[in-house]
Amino acid sequence: MKLLFDLFPVILFFAAFKIAEGQPDAAIALAERFMGEGLTAMTAPVFIATVVAIAATFLQVGWLMLRGRKVEPMLWISLAVIVVFGSLTLYLRNEMFIKWKPTILYWIFGGILVYGNIAGRNFIRMLLSKAEIEMPGHAWGTLQNMWIGFFAAMGVVNLLVAYLCSTDTWVNFKLFGLMGLTLVFTIGIGVFMTKHAVTRQN
């Protein structure tokens, strides 16, 4: 459920794009009602999907606040990035801004971890503190560096797909490709942590 909640805006972005793509005339009419004339069957779906993704992220934050639950910093960052790059996409009618959004988000997360290295703080260890996982200090350092490398690489891969492939291909990759790569990497992280876990002495 946590995974589905985190992917909520991405899933709705994908669904809105596919529905609009399948009904181009209706998509153009809807988008032009708010953005003015000049849209095409190639551009209207991504603009509609962008609006849906922005609204979905606001709903995530609102839902958590209404339930009195803490809004994690990563969600606040995600909201800020989708609002800025989504707004630029709609205002300038340029879909490349929304395509940059995952990359910017990955690089922000990676940058935070780089700052942690500089400041002598292991944010990955802090995030996993509730799991009560024990590993040697060097293993925690390696783990944080692995995440930094992953975030940097994912940002580059997203841009390669965004610039070299069609918007339809990028939308598919955004949901299935990025999620698949993250899953594979997370499994690798699990194997790494298992090998370096220290047995707690009673």
CA 174/CA 180 separation, integer angstroms = 10
* C-alpha to C-alpha distances, 179 to 112, 158, 166, 173, 197, nearest whole angstrom: 21, 12, 19, 8, 26
Is the pLDDT at 201 greater than 70, yes or no? no
- In whole angstroms, give the CA distance from residue 61 to residue 72: 9
Residue pLDDT, tens place only, 131-156: 778 888 899 999 999 999 999 999 99
Q: In the prediction, which pLDDT does 79 show?
A: 94
Q: How confident is the model at residue 3 (pLDDT cuts 50, 70, 90)?
A: low
- Amino acid in position 179: M
Q: For 87-98, write each residue's pLDDT tens digit.
A: 999 999 999 999
HSE, side-chain direction, 13 A CA sphere, residue 126: 8
pLDDT tens digit sequence for 12-60: 999 999 999 999 999 999 999 989 888 999 999 999 999 999 999 999 9
- For residue 1, name the pLDDT band (cuts at 50, 70, 90): low
Q: pLDDT above 90 covers what percent of the chain?
A: 78
CA gap 38, 18 in Å, rounded: 21
Instruction: Please give the model's pTM, rounded to 2 decimal places.
Output: 0.89
C-beta separation of 173 from 189 below 8 A: no
Residue 199 has pLDDT above 60, yes or no: no
As a whole number of Å, the CA-based R_g of the chain is 19
Three-state SS for 202?
Answer: coil
**pLDDT surpasses 50 at 191:** yes
Confidence of residue 197 (pLDDT cuts 50, 70, 90): confident
Average pLDDT for 49-76:
93
